[in-house]
Structure 1
Amino acid sequence: MAAQHPIILHHFPQSPFSEKVRLIFGLKNIAWTSVLISRIMPRPDLMPLTGGYRRTPVMQIGADIYCDTQCIIRELERRFPEPTLFPDGYRGLASATAMWTDKAFFQGTVNLIFGTLANKVPQEFIADREKLRGAKFDIAAMTAAIPQMRDQFRANVQWIEAQLADNRRWMCGDRASLCDINAYMNVWYIRAHLPDLDRMLAEFPATTAWEARMRAVGHATSTEMSTAAALEIATRASPQTAALADPRDPNGRKPGDQVEVMPDDYGKIGVRGEIVALSSQHIAIRRNDPRAGEVVVHFPRAGFLVLPA
């Protein structure tokens, strides 16, 4: 029988994408292990696990490494199906909301926060995010765009308010779901960094009450672990991912192919390896690292590129 490994989340407290996963631990009452990583590079004990992928968070279970919240959420739902994040009638929509919340909504939120903080943003953070983006992290332009970003935040929050307008407690019915987790991320991010969220939400009473319910979910029970100890777990473990072919893959990819996987928008650092499993929503690649040993790194398909290595 395979060893039971802890569910390890590599994250930092200010990360809005990590907050999504922490809230899922709370909703599903999952005990987890917290590995705190630096908000900026370097991350010398994490890069051997991911092969260079540097977006946050990363989930680790033994020598299986899950990158991007889409992939992490899918694996948590598989392992802990109740209570489900996908209520009847919303399975496709709940997943698809990430393309709204994590891209357009998030980018406007980032611009609003950092434009407002302006000269309080450390120079080393700006330099790190310029490397991540491959473009200028232009605080002056963000500051100039604050009026437009306020408009965008209001427009996005009004969609949440409209969804809650029939007095439902949660966006997709009578239980919190991935729709709520995704939509809440940007509201949480503003709350964590700017003092005037209450004023910004004043015209949205249903959203204000919903935000309080989301805050009350909590993060379940966690224990702390060092980055070095997490790397050691991977080194001593073996990946547990079974081979899985996708006979309908539109490009004819198959287990054994050498590929390079990377995000399609920012943090475009290619991770190379051999395909172990793939589907329309998931690809897992095996790689060998001098420090981590053999690991299988998992990625989503939406928002990611799969290129010949």
Structure 2
Amino acid sequence: MPEVVLHHYDNSPFSEKVRICLGIKGLSWRAVDQPVIMPKPDLVPLTGGYRRIPVMQIGADIYCDSQLIVRELERRFPERPLFPSGSEGLAIAIEQWCDKALFQTAVLAIFGSIGDSVDPAFIKDREALSGQPFNVAAMKAIAPFAVSQIKAHASLLVQQLTDGRDFFAGTDPCLADAAAYYNFWFARTFAPGLVDRFDDLNGFDAWYDRVTAIGHGTPTSLKPAEALEIATNALPEAMNTLPSDAAIRDKNVCLAATDYGRDPIIGTFVGSTQYSLTVARNVPELGEVNVHVSRLGYSVSPA
């Protein structure tokens, strides 16, 4: 099987979720450092325009969005499962909660705290990504409330640990732990002192330390040009289509996120599952690649 290639950057919060999942599974993987802001000349040829991080590459198959990446890791590498003991529903619910409500709260708290020192180029890039102003003054005004909300989220999460279990699903870590962890890692990494410890939330900091200790598996660096070469020398995996999507099989379609970073991915619709949508693209410098996005949170429309 071709090796796992993760296109990421060190301080990407959603990449941290994936890296912890790679650690849970004890996988070896190749790490491609991508720029924090546009342009990303070695990423968009693979994705067809999608610019968000992380992106996972396995041969000529390109997986966009962390929620799809972790599902694909589970499919390909079922050992050390991300959903132990029938915890899939719990894990996915916690992931959705943390990717939306908790993440947005963390962003307000962090950038309200450090906003004056943020690179203007980063601000301009994130405004283009979100389609909304990056209003540092407004974030500063709401930051104290956002910090209190981060702790409120933590108090809800810790209720799952009140019976003394090590991780959310019991004795073994799972996707829920990675999803809950990365926002607190994000805040503690970028705004030290903001939400460093929660001594009055019994068990939370011990759980946080246990997840930190999982690590990231075994990454080794890979140059962006080498990742492109891997795609050039591979063929994408054959795909099936759900009966409900049969009418658009082999049609030219556009896939796009519905929240932010809505850069369209245009290709031939070649596959779907209950949780993914796939288009094939023929790229002059790479050959044929399949680009996969999550069904949840992405739209498909005629190109």
- Deviation of 1:197 (Å): 5.0
1:186–1:288 distance in 2 versus 1, CA, 3 Å: same
> Corresponding residue for 1:262?
256
**Contact kept? 2:46, 2:62, Cα under 8 Å:** yes
> Corresponding residue for 2:92?
95
1:248–1:31 distance in 2 versus 1, CA, 3 Å: same
> Corresponding residue for 2:48?
51
Secondary structure of the corresponding residue to residue 86 of structure 2: coil
1:243–1:195 distance in 2 versus 1, CA, 3 Å: closer
How many residue pairs get aligned? The number is 303
**Contact kept? 2:85, 2:169, Cα under 8 Å:** no
Of 107, 122, 127, which aligns to 2:124?
Answer: 127
TM-score with structure 2 setting the length = 0.96
1:128-162 deviation digits (Å, cap 9, x = unpaired)? 10111011111111111012201211111111111
- Deviation of 1:284 (Å): 1.1
- Deviation of 1:89 (Å): 3.1
Distance in 2 between the 1:109 and 1:243 partners?
A: 37
**Contact kept? 2:278, 2:290, Cα under 8 Å:** yes
Of 277, 280, 297, which aligns to 1:283?
Answer: 277
Paired letter, 2:157: I
Distance in 1 between the 2:95 and 2:219 partners?
A: 26
Q: How does 1:136-147 map to 2 (within 5 A)?
A: 136-147=133-144
Q: Are residues 1:305 and 2:299 paired? A: yes
Of 148, 164, 173, which aligns to 1:151?
Answer: 148
Q: Which moved more, 1:91-100 or 1:68-77?
A: 91-100
Distance in 2 between the 1:100 and 1:194 partners?
A: 22
Distance in 2 between the 1:153 and 1:184 partners?
A: 12
**Contact kept? 2:147, 2:194, Cα under 8 Å:** no
- Deviation of 1:302 (Å): 0.7
**Contact kept? 1:33, 1:224, Cα under 8 Å:** yes
Of 212, 215, 226, which aligns to 1:215?
Answer: 212
Secondary structure of the corresponding residue to residue 24 of structure 2: helix
Paired letter, 2:5: I
Q: Are residues 1:246 and 2:253 paired? A: no
Distance in 2 between the 1:194 and 1:256 partners?
A: 48
Q: Are residues 1:188 and 2:182 paired? A: no
Paired letter, 1:270: P
Alpha-carbon RMSD: 1.4
Distance in 2 between the 1:74 and 1:111 partners?
A: 28
Q: Which runs of 4+ in 1 moved over 4 A?
A: 197-200
> Corresponding residue for 1:107?
104
Paired letter, 1:151: S
- Deviation of 1:191 (Å): 1.4
